[in-house]
Amino acid sequence: MPRQSNGSYLPPANTAAVSGTTISSTAFNTLETDIGTEITNSLDRQGRSAMQANLPMGSNKITGMADPTVSTDAATKNYVDTTTAAFFSTGDMKPTLKNVADAGWILFDDGTFGSATSGSSSRANQDTQALFTLFFSNMSDSAAPILTSGGGATTRAAQVSAANAWAANCRMSLPKTLGRALGVAGSGAGLTGRSLGASVGEESHTLIAGEIPVITSAVSVSGALTGTTSSNVDLGVGNVSLQTGGNPLMTVSTTGAASVTVSGTLNGAATSNNAGGQAHNNMQPTVFVNWMVKI
């Protein structure tokens, strides 16, 4: 007979041995056959047969498993945790629409992080030491300032090493990222070199004189010139004739050149003023999300 619903084995009826009674071959064979069937249906420790149904564990664990080698193998929690942890390492960043950092991450919020007694605003925990050391080594005081545990300013030079700064419970500042676009550090061809964590740019900008292109303006002038003139006249040779009847008439013929000098003032005014002198929007099309960094 098959196992009961709870998995326990119950021998077939009329196969139990009774003291002082001969065991018949029928009873013996029935019991032996039934036991053999149940052994066949049991889980083989050598893996020589496959399960034919689901194997409920009843909230118990399967322990002592080896690491998987093919896609159909089961994996332990330790294997999964170790493997997925390698996807990101200390200092890696990822964008997110979450408002709370994942376990093992710090949300960029322009705050500070450090040891459990550092008084840091973003995360104060011993698990941040690796990230603290990375920031100390790879970024400058201007990009990621260091503060004392009391919040006072200090420097990398003053602390000498990341280990000293950590032991002194200093706070490490996260780079200023809120409201900013992210760029790639380095020295691109023809571009200004940018260090890790540096921030530049402005949201709006007012042009100064040196940034304004050369402008040729149209001007309208109206008015009249007033002044004086002077001239020199050369008289040529004249002919005099007398008219019959005794009345004289002089006829003068002249040739020559004249020079004229004119002085005065012209008054002009621009017809329009098209400069406002206000700051203009200096932002590229942008969508804003949160970013977090792996500790």
Partners of residue 240 on adjacent β-strands: 250
CB atoms within 10 A of CB 101: 19
270: enclosing H helix or E strand: strand 268-270
How many angstroms separate the Cα of 82 from the Cα of each of 62, 65, 77, 86, 115?
19, 15, 8, 7, 25
Contact 89, 157 (CB under 8 A): no
Contact of 141 with 170, CB cutoff 8 Å: no
pLDDT at 282: 86
Check the CA dihedral 268-273-277-283 and report its sign: negative
User: What value, to the nearest 5°, has the Cα angle with vertex 131 and ends 109 and 158?
Assistant: 95
Model pLDDT, residue 278: 86
User: Which 8-state DSSP code applies to residue 133?
Assistant: H
Rounded Cα distance, 78 and 211, in Å: 61
**For the segment 250-265, what is each residue's pLDDT rounded down to a tens digit?**
555 555 555 656 566 6
Question: What are the residue ranges in the chain where pLDDT is below 70?
Answer: 1-2, 219-275
Give me the phi and psi of 198, to 5 degrees please. -70, 150
**End-to-end CA, the chain:** 60
Give me the pLDDT at residue 26, please.
Answer: 92
State if pTM tops 0.75. no
Contact 105, 96 (CB under 8 A): no
How many beta carbons lie within 10 A of that of residue 179, not counting itself?
Answer: 10
Q: Classify residue 43 by its DSSP letter.
A: P
Q: Give the per-residue pLDDT at 66.
A: 95
- What proportions of the chain, in percent to the nearest 5, are helix, strand and coil? 15, 15, 70
What is the strand order of the sheet 153-154 is part of?
A: 123-124, 112-114, 171-173, 146-147, 153-154
As a whole number of angstroms, the distance between CA 136 and CA 90 comes to 13
- What pLDDT shows up at residue 84? 85
Q: How far apart are CA 259 and CA 240, in angstroms?
A: 29
Digit-coded pLDDT (tens) for 181-221: 999 999 999 999 999 999 998 889 998 888 888 877 776 66
Rounded distance between C-alpha atoms, residue 130 and residue 292, angstroms: 15
